Amino acid sequence: MEGAAIVGAGHTRFGVRPEGPRALAQEAIRRALASVDRGVDGRTIDEGFLATLGFGGWQLGNASTVVAEAVGATGLPVTRIENACASGGFAIRAAIRAVQSGAELVVVVGVEKMTDVDQARRRYWLGVSGDTEWERLSGLTFAGVYALLASRYIADRPDAREAMRRVAVKNHANGALNPNAHFQKAVSASDVDRAPRVAAPLGLFDCCPVTDGAAAVLVTRASNARRYTDTPIYVSGVGAATDRLAVQERDEFPHFAASRRAAAEAFRSAPFGPRAVQLAELHDCFTIAELLALEDVGLVGPNEAVAATNAGRTERSGDIPVNPDGGLKAKGHPIGATGVSQVYEVFVQLRGAAGARQIPGAERALAHNVGGAGATATVTIFERG
């Protein structure tokens, strides 16, 4: 099977943005096109994917056409993909599939406009990615679901609260170095402890913010990649999975079988295992989620996430840096954009172009994207050529 490679990537500033989703998507696409070293214009692109939950009451249906307009290629086939917060990861996977099926150059853009929705509607909209009957209509928000997961996780692991605190401090410290992050401000352990509770045990700094933004990447066949750049980033493996939508109906709790299945599929085709990963983008919508993901994708063994985090192994100076861009926690989590933004970060990091937040010498990376509270998940693995 033909492999795939990333040859360009673009990112908007994440945060409270005055623009609508169309302008945000177009900005990310323009930046991605401009990032390609040579040989690309809109006409080179023969396929597109748009990842969005359609948040905010904008163009809710048929939005895929805005991608063709942004690329300047009227007629381009573009497919909108929506798998809640994992929309971006599923769109990246669809792009990899497309080049395996013969496409030359594929654009993937993820976008969400969230801050123009009032607080009550925001809660409703985000809740739609959980189970309607058992969760949403019972009033259970995502912070509530993750609070249940965290409570269970903490009950068996006395040091887990410290690890969650460290995830928040670490990701805010990383975000402070990322000019695209929503929050570019370090927080202290006592800031985390003193913050108001959102859903106990989760406080304000355990939760990702509500953010606007977009990210785009360009995917081509591995064998063609050097047509566009001398430093492509190659896809070593990709996996995706689902689980039952309602947390209460699952076989296990609090870990996510979908993340584990996606990682297993991704590593089946990769020439290295999870312990060889030197940098990871993990879906830290809440601090507890980063701990679960560390174990689920296999970066550490079962029950090792707390010790690894408390030993500083996931910091930028550690042996498995996690979320060097600030993660969902500090960079922000514009739903459809997140999975694509993760691949943007992998792309600039593996090329040594990440500036102040650069992880020196990283050659193998992993991106992990979750939809809802583990109902859908993707894992993609990358390496330098």
Q: Which of 72, 100, 117, 151 binds a copy of itself (CB under 8 A)?
A: 100
Q: Which of 371, 380, 381, 382 binds a copy of itself (CB under 8 A)?
A: 371
Residue 379 in the binding site for a copy of itself (CB under 8 A): no
Rounded (10°) angle between helices 160-175 and 142-156: 130
Structure tokens at 120: 């009550």
Q: Is 330 left (phi over 0), alpha (psi -120 to 50) or beta?
A: alpha
Q: Which of 90, 146, 153, 228 binds a copy of itself (CB under 8 A)?
A: 90
| Cβ partners under 8 Å of residue 40, min gap 6 | 7, 8, 33, 105, 218, 228
Contacts (CB under 8 A) with a copy of itself, residues 243-272: 243-245, 251, 257-258, 261-262
User: Environment class of residue 191 by beta-carbon count within 10 Å: exposed (0-12), middle (13-18) or buried (19+)?
Assistant: middle
Residue 130 in the binding site for a copy of itself (CB under 8 A): yes
Q: Which of 33, 70, 147, 241 binds a copy of itself (CB under 8 A)?
A: 241
Structure tokens at 352: 């040594």
The catalytic residue among 172, 255, 333, 368 is: 333
Active-site residue, 182 included: no
Residue 53 in the binding site for a copy of itself (CB under 8 A): yes
Q: How far apart are CA 205 and CA 114, in angstroms?
A: 19
User: Environment class of residue 200 by beta-carbon count within 10 Å: exposed (0-12), middle (13-18) or buried (19+)?
Assistant: exposed
Residue 98 in the binding site for a copy of itself (CB under 8 A): yes
Minimum CB–partner distance for residue 43 and a copy of itself (Å): 14
| 215 φ/ψ angles, rounded to the nearest 5 degrees | -145, 150
Q: Which of 6, 36, 78, 208 binds a copy of itself (CB under 8 A)?
A: 78
Amino acid (1-letter code) at residue 368: H
Minimum CB–partner distance for residue 383 and a copy of itself (Å): 20
Task: Return the residue matching tokens 């990440």.
Answer: 354
Minimum CB–partner distance for residue 75 and a copy of itself (Å): 5
Residue 303 in the binding site for a copy of itself (CB under 8 A): no
Q: How far apart are CA 156 and CA 276, in angstroms?
A: 28
Q: Which of 19, 30, 58, 224 binds a copy of itself (CB under 8 A)?
A: 58
Q: How far apart are CA 72 and CA 45, in angstroms?
A: 10
* C-alpha R_g of the chain: 19
Q: Which of 39, 41, 132, 275 binds a copy of itself (CB under 8 A)?
A: 132
Of 73-81, 145-153, 220-228, 314-322: span binding a copy of itself (CB under 8 A): 73-81
The catalytic residue among 85, 207, 208, 285 is: 85
Count residues near a copy of itself (CB under 8 A). Answer: 54
Q: Are 351 and 127 in contact, with CB atoms under 8 Å apart? A: no
Q: Which residues are catalytic?
A: 85, 333
Query: Which chain residues interact with a copy of itself by CB under 8 A?
Result: 1, 53-54, 58-62, 64-66, 68-69, 74-84, 90, 93-94, 97-98, 100-102, 125, 128-132, 239-245, 251, 257-258, 261-262, 371-372, 375-376
